[in-house]
Amino acid sequence: MHVLILGGTTEGRRLAETLDAAGVRVTSSLAGRVACPAPLPGEVRVGGFGGAEGLARWTREHQVDAVIDATHPFAGTISFNAARAAATSHVPLLALRRPGWTPAEGDDWHPVASLAEAADTVRGLGRRAFLTTGRMGLAAFAEVPGVWFLVRSVDPPEPPHPARMEVLLDRGPFTLDGEREVLRRHGIDVLVTKDSGGAATAPKLVAAREAGVPVVIVRRPPVPDGVPVAATVEEAASWVAEGAPAG
């Protein structure tokens, strides 16, 4: 059985390791946005497919038996391309999505629908913002007046980006003590993030709650209609073991 994992996430990596150990042929596809990704088991390809048609063609040419969309919850374009490609090539598709975060007592969350709305919201909440939405969406914050940004990303961001910012190059998982220190050292009074879910980057939310720092959180886009969803690597591996049944 040949499984194509649309990866780039911790869950995608763990799934590739799990399936490879079980003797399944695995190809992990990465978008190529991280300069030096960690090594993966099985086969690896980097770069886009050329839309839904290109992905459908690739699955046919490489005799793919099942596709698992384990991309970031905010990688909307590839998820919809995967749904269209799977329908075209009649290949079973599963979305692996870590559950989103839920607010706890003491949280001061401000949910928004987009990065543009986050940029409009942040300037009314603070003057020193910790921006953890990734380097690809910084243009939305380039013209926000009166706010200094601490931008955390794996690779250095490219323009357009906020004029007043400091870049913190780092890769999760992050510790609670580390996040507390980031907020304290940089005098952060507002946090901006996406509802990525998962434990690797959740400590910043706890640190913000403890410090009384408001959080602007971008809601995640929905999974394409009709695509079954697994919440854990174990559920996705079981789906493969069962022969990738249609949803």
pTM for this model (two decimals): 0.82
Other C-beta atoms lying within 10 Å of the C-beta of residue 17: 15
User: Per-residue pLDDT averaged across 200-209, rounded?
Assistant: 94
Average predicted confidence (pLDDT) for the chain: 93
Q: In order of start, what are the domains of the chain with their CATH numbers?
A: 2-99+221-241 (3.40.50.720), 109-218 (3.40.50.720)
| 166, two tokens | 């400091």
User: Per-residue pLDDT averaged across 137-152, rounded?
Assistant: 95
User: Per-residue pLDDT averaged across 170-185, rounded?
Assistant: 95
- Whether 91 has a pLDDT exceeding 60, the answer reads yes
Task: Say how far apart CA 25 and CA 66 lie, in whole Å.
Answer: 11
User: Per-residue pLDDT averaged across 42-69, rounded?
Assistant: 96
pLDDT reported for residue 136: 83
Least confident span in 22-36, 146-160, 224-238: 22-36
Strand, helix or coil for residue 130: strand
184 burial via Cβ count (<10 Å: 0-12, 13-18, 19+): exposed
- State the DSSP H helix or E strand holding residue 216, giving kind and residue range, or none if neither: strand 215-218
pLDDT, tens digit (0-9, with 9 covering 90-100), for 24-35 = 999 999 987 655
- Whether 247 has a pLDDT exceeding 70, the answer reads no
User: Per-residue pLDDT averaged across 115-124, rounded?
Assistant: 96
Instruction: Categorize the per-residue pLDDT at 107 as very low, low, confident or very high, splitting at 50, 70 and 90.
Output: very high
User: Per-residue pLDDT averaged across 79-84, rounded?
Assistant: 95
Task: Say how far apart CA 83 and CA 108 lie, in whole Å.
Answer: 36
User: Per-residue pLDDT averaged across 97-114, rounded?
Assistant: 95
User: Per-residue pLDDT averaged across 121-133, rounded?
Assistant: 96
